[in-house]
Amino acid sequence: MVDAKKELLKDLSDSIVEMDEEKAVKTARVYIEHNYEPYEAIASGLAHGMGRAGKLYEEEEYYIPELLMCSDALYAGMDVVKPHLSKTASEQKYKAVIGVVEGDTHDIGKNLVKIMMETAGFDVVDLGRDVPPIDFVKTAQEIGANIIALSTLMTTTMDGMEQVIKLLPEYGLKDKVKVMVGGGPISPNYAKKIGADGYAPDALKAAKLAKLLVQEG
């Protein structure tokens, strides 16, 4: 017997890779009508598909125009699913600042983390890519952020992460803001070495880690 939920999740993922907005919307509606878990539709369906599209981009099978069409399909599907996500019990909105560190313009991973964090109930301010360390800190101070999420795919720009952490005390944020890091060359050991509060290898784990960090206070 075919597992209907599994099939729908696969179709959701495929709709993103196929850049098919209509399919994403239609499949998301059917998924929700079956009363399946909405969070999973994003994590194992839509975001999963975007992760696949990101890999195709890295392998130069897809280019920016394809990636943008994949994103359109992703957001179309998200619009169907989002209203059905249960609000966090506390109704407390945590705030996060996210971006790719200065010198790096690879933002697919960061975009996925942003989506998953929003899904997990965060208000996310996205600074984009090639972001100077000071901008992360100033923005976090302005909005009263609980978390700063830093991403890079290049070894040459990893130092920017440490610079952000070193700036926190100057702005009175050392014990107020948690810092999490991720991206290709980053490891748990590197995160520890620079004094980050956590490391996540992918978008789904990043959202879970963010929740853990803010709940720990």
Q: Which residues pair with 180 in a beta bridge?
A: 149, 198
User: Within 13 Å and on the Cβ side, how many CA atoms surround 172?
Assistant: 3
Domain assignment present for residue 47? The answer is yes
Separation between Cα atoms, residue 135 and residue 32, nearest integer Å: 39
Backbone angles phi, psi at 8, to 5 degrees: -65, -40
Give the range of the structural domain holding residue 138, as residue numbers without chain letter.
94-216
- Return the higher-pLDDT residue of 96 and 105: 96
For residues 134 and 206, state if they share a domain: yes
Stretch 4-23: mean pLDDT, rounded?
96
For residues 167 and 80, state if they share a domain: no
pLDDT at 77 over 80: yes
* pLDDT 10s digits, 29-74: 999 999 999 988 988 999 889 889 888 987 889 887 898 899 899 9
Domain assignment present for residue 198? The answer is yes
Report pLDDT for 195: 97
Angle at 47 (CA atoms; ends 126, 49), nearest 5 degrees: 130
Q: What is the largest CA-CA distance in the chain?
A: 61
Report pLDDT for 92: 63
Report pLDDT for 91: 52
Domain assignment present for residue 26? The answer is yes
For residues 201 and 124, state if they share a domain: yes
Stretch 104-123: mean pLDDT, rounded?
85
The answer to whether the pTM exceeds 0.85 is no
Report pLDDT for 89: 43
Separation between Cα atoms, residue 74 and residue 69, nearest integer Å: 9
* Three-class secondary structure of residue 154 per DSSP: coil
- The CATH number of residue 40's host domain is 1.10.1240.10
pLDDT at 165 over 60: yes
For residues 190 and 208, state if they share a domain: yes
Average pLDDT, rounded, for the chain: 91
Report pLDDT for 88: 47
Percentage with pLDDT > 90 across the chain: 64
Report pLDDT for 64: 78
Report pLDDT for 121: 80
Report pLDDT for 142: 97
pLDDT at 110 over 70: yes
Domain assignment present for residue 89? The answer is no
Separation between Cα atoms, residue 64 and residue 73, nearest integer Å: 14
Separation between Cα atoms, residue 107 and residue 105, nearest integer Å: 6
Helix, strand, coil percentages (3-state) for the chain, rounded to 5, are 60, 10, 30
